[in-house]
Chains A and B, each alone.
Chain A
């Protein structure tokens, strides 16, 4: 397919809006040609996963756009960076890395991006609405926006998310187009009635991620979630074990009120049954240590803890009243943290070992005091990546068990 540009696109390409917009449009055109898009479409917002420092090229790119006087053309949020700018001193990094890593976060702000520094932009005031075209990076945010909200994005990443933001355009291809959003593979969930644990949603996510490949999964029989955080956990897990950018849950997510709607009237290519035992096996693979193992820390909030999750956590902390010796890290967005502080909700909580982390995440940078022990988490995504990223052993469990374990100093899990 040949890419057709509008007169405005061409003007931008020719430099009428400055060298930075021209460069962004040039890269976007090449990308669009490579994916076979027929044209570009307007986007309502962007989310940039470009603030983690991975090397000089990434920083050079943003600096060049800043030098060229570039500004983002649509409301643009930023994913986590390598630093917690709210709590200085929390991240430990050699100065040679710290300087460019801090600069990378700041340079994005100079392009007009919002200082959100969260992997859950859907929890901010920039949350998109149903049907909106957006260009988002960050796998969990992408799957949440597409599936839970019904906004439309492909899996954007490195450089190209920013090029979309700088031009306000995205290639008209993939999940931007209705016909590509139809389900392809059906997962029939067979679990006992009344089960509504968080880990059930994580387990389903792990399984569909692994089995879907590049096909859009449809889940039938998923219990109605308590809140959107359970769908957040499902999507994050599916985008961890696979490349899932959109899932439908029949009767739950907005483009799947019925099975027929989810498949847009077609039949599934394949049907896979998921039993409670399958979920148990998938979850068991997240833990590398047995119950009773001594605990070094707890890490919650991957993806970033929502206000609702905090409201569940804080009573648990008061009830279990863990002593300070086991740090309980909770990753969250700075806007959520500010709201909690205004509400006075965190007063006295540090006595229980609570350490809120903003702007970044405990598995992408060096925050944890001890890396030699077992870390407990309720996040499928954290459990999957942390051993490789920061070298810890992981025990996966429900949030309640994480807090109970912090109180006794070793891994305790309810029968699951």
Chain B
């Protein structure tokens, strides 16, 4: 099986980041779903319950839920408990606002990228860079023995 190691997309907030992928097929609401003090996932209805997003590249189809997620994301970025970057399949206004506000206030850029997220699994090493045209370049170094099968 081959797959592209590089993919492009759209920046909702531009920036560079590197980290281990944390991949969910279900969207996660930051408000009521993540503890901004620790980065722990606290949503009991989410498969990621108990895992921690800090320093990871969070990969999910979309955002979800209340607009209060903007505040929680901004607060998590401030505290250093947020993901270092987020990849989404569909743009999300609420997460975009949280990331932009955090950049505005604290000069911390947590890139938010809309791109193809198929075939990514938790544990892949992901590198988000800025291409010549200003758009994102997402490089994936696959985990050799992923804990779960790859989704097409």
Contacts and interface: CB of A to CB of B under 8 A. Distances in A.
Interface string B75-96: 1011000000000000111101
A241 B77 CA distance: 30
Interface stretch (B66-74, B117-125, B133-141): B66-74
A34 B71 contact: no
B97 A26 contact: no
Interface in A17-37: 23, 26-27, 30-31, 33-36
Interface string B106-117: 100000000000
Contact of B101 (A27, A36, A155): A27
A159 interface: yes
Contacts of A33: 12, 91, 96
A31 B97 contact: yes
Contacts of A57: 71, 74-75, 77-78, 101-102, 105
A157 B97 CA distance: 10
Contacts of A285: none
Interface string A276-306: 0000000000000000000000000000000
A159 B97 contact: yes
A363 to B, nearest CB: 15
B100 interface: yes
Contacts of A157: 66-68, 70, 94
A61 B78 CA distance: 12
A55 B68 CA distance: 12
Interface residues of B, number: 27
Contacts of A30: 12-13, 96-97, 100
B93 A58 contact: no
A64 B78 CA distance: 15
Nearest to A158: B70
16 contacts: A23-B104, A27-B100, A27-B104, A30-B96, A34-B93, A57-B102, A58-B71, A61-B105, A64-B105, A157-B94, A158-B94, A158-B98, A159-B71, A159-B74, A159-B97, A159-B98
Interface of B: 12-13, 36, 66-72, 74-75, 77-78, 91-94, 96-98, 100-102, 104-106
